[in-house]
A and B are shown apart, each in its own frame.
Chain A
């Protein structure tokens, strides 16, 4: 069965701190894709990144970076020097050989000034 676990329900940090959001997934497939989405307080879902199972290179985009490790089935997301605008719920998701996206339960990040 496919499953995505985001064990951190809520994280609070002070601005400029670094923060890592954990994501652990389960799948029996060898080909799959992992995603991160952001849901700000306004409610919409914003696509952040896609990673396929054959590409274990870490990715950096500005203050955001992602660490994909197949050995531990993890796809963690780090925000460097967090800002108040980063406050949101972040979802990790998995898709395999169908079009069905499986979401984790989300991590609510609150960044205080």
Chain B
């Protein structure tokens, strides 16, 4: 009963390093999302994928890239990490349709020095 699985759970990077956050879901959901959570700002959408093969920008896409590898997997890449990208990152998935609740992974806590 895994749901949405994110790896790694914690990571520390140096400024300028690159990193890929992995996300996989086993619920056969069409839509997948990446959010970042910062103190006092709630969750903000970085990128989302409505279906396999499609991706679209959210509210805060700068500095990130995504890949919808297949229906199960949606990865988030930081090409050149910056201290401003220190955050907790959440992946989520949902069935197609905006009325469906999103199911979240446990988050990745990323610190960039």
Contact = CB atoms under 8 A, between A and B. Distances in A.
Given A91-B42, A103-B42, A47 B98 contact: no
Given A35-B101, A50-B99, A99-B94, A44 B43 contact: no
Interface stretch (B15-23, B44-52, B66-74): B44-52
B99 A52 contact: yes
Interface string B1-15: 000000000000000
A43 B42 contact: no
A106 B101 contact: no
A76 B95 CA distance: 26
B104 to A, nearest CB: 4
The size class of the interface chain A forms with chain B is: 20 to 34
A97 B42 contact: no
B61 interface: no
B98 A97 contact: yes
A100 B31 contact: no
Interface in A55-113: 91, 95-101, 103-106
Interface residues of B, number: 25
A44 B106 contact: yes
Nearest to A97: B98
A91 B104 CA distance: 13
A45 interface: yes
Contacts of A47: 101-103
A104 B41 CA distance: 8
A103 B40 CA distance: 12
23 contacts: A33-B99, A35-B101, A44-B106, A44-B107, A45-B92, A45-B104, A47-B101, A47-B102, A52-B99, A91-B42, A95-B99, A96-B98, A98-B98, A99-B31, A99-B50, A99-B94, A99-B97, A101-B45, A103-B42, A103-B43, A103-B44, A105-B41, A105-B42
Interface of B: 31, 33, 40-45, 48, 50, 58, 88, 90, 92, 94, 97-99, 101-107
